[in-house]
Amino acid sequence: MHVVLVEPQIAPNTGAIIRLCANTGAELHLIEPLGFAFDDARLRRGGLDYHEFAAVTIHPDIEAARAQLRGRWFAFSASGSRPYTAVEYRPDDVLVFGTERTGLRPDVKHDDRIHDLLTIPMMPDNRSLNLANAVSVVVYEAWRQSGFAGAATDRPRSALTVEALDVNES
């Protein structure tokens, strides 16, 4: 699975998506211009120490990414006509997301090579989700459909577990 961020602007969002991709096995493709330097401390902080585990490629433009990524291209937008859950995802699918401030440019969203324009349902009168949250929702659905291919199945429980609190305690 490939995640494409077209001209991302906010370093912490991209850092969180790097971490997401490292944990799901998705490959991340960033389309320039980026709204931050790739060595930005906020990007590293958002991705923590996951940069070495994520496959990240920076492309000078969308056409360079198209030349490399041959799967079906799905664009995501609040103006999409079908929910993201209506798709049977494949391992080589390309999931395309726009900038945090303006979403996908019309020339990308309405390109004839886009297989489908999808949306993530939200409550009425809300504009959008945070980019990292939107990418997470879609990537996990696509990965779930593949049976979580490649996921660790015999991992020990993390030392960082949440303990249930007794609400009656003072």
CB 104 within 8 A of CB 148: no
Q: Which two tokens stand for residue 144?
A: 């779930």
Q: How confident is the model at residue 128 (pLDDT cuts 50, 70, 90)?
A: confident
Please give the order of strands across the beta sheet that includes 27-31.
Answer: 55-59, 27-31, 2-6, 94-97, 73-76, 114-119, 82-83
- Region 10-27: mean pLDDT is 94
CA 45 – CA 54 distance, rounded (Å): 15
Q: How confident is the model at residue 131 (pLDDT cuts 50, 70, 90)?
A: very high
* pLDDT tens column, 88-115: 999 999 999 999 999 999 999 999 999 9
Question: Taking the CB of residue 52, how many other CB atoms lie within 10 A of it?
Answer: 7
Q: For residue 21, is pLDDT > 80?
A: yes
CA 103 – CA 6 distance, rounded (Å): 9
* pLDDT tens column, 36-91: 887 767 666 655 567 788 999 999 999 999 999 999 999 999 999 899 999 999 99
Domains of the chain and CATH, by start = 2-145 (3.40.1280.10)
Q: Look up the pTM and report it.
A: 0.87
Query: How high is the pLDDT of residue 158?
Result: 54
CA 128 – CA 123 distance, rounded (Å): 10
* CA proximity to 99, closest of 68, 141, 130, 126: 130
CA 130 – CA 133 distance, rounded (Å): 5
